[in-house]
Structure 1
Amino acid sequence: MSWLWMVERKLVETLLRSPAFHRGVQKVHKQIHHLQHGKPPEYYGGTSLEDPASNGGVKNFVKLFWEELKSGHKPGRNEGK
């Protein structure tokens, strides 16, 4: 039975040295990770804090922030009605 153990050991060593085996394991790991945690934002094109269609920048941010402050502090708004 010793020769069978030696053959098995040699086959396992060959498999573990194979780049194709490691690529397969990486693909399976990636799929399981995506199923458990969802796909990362980079998969969907990344994240963007600024709308590319607008002129963006600090000027646009200040404008939107000021408008939100004005509309958020009108009398009668957000009184829990």
Structure 2
Amino acid sequence: MTRTYSVSEVAEQIGAPSERWLVEQLRAGHFPGRKVARTWRMTEQDVTDALDACLNNPRITRTAAVGLTATSRKRVSA
């Protein structure tokens, strides 16, 4: 049988600002979890997926040099 964790256990594990914040994320569907009776439960995989959802991976895009002067184009491409 798969072990599940309570909201308070998960909040402590992941360093959440509060249990309420974690419940709000679960309700909004941002984090996976299951509501059993009146309490939220999360599996080990749910906790891992929640942490993955919190990763900050900025997407770096190249700026288009169209319409720039030669000097500005050099600055953008450097």
Give me the TM-score of the superposition, normalised by structure 1.
Answer: 0.23
Q: Which structure features the higher share of helix residues?
A: 1
Specify the structure having the higher radius of gyration (Cα). Answer: 1
Q: Which structure features the higher share of strand residues?
A: 2
User: Which has the bigger relative contact order, CA under 8 A and spacing at least 6?
Assistant: 2
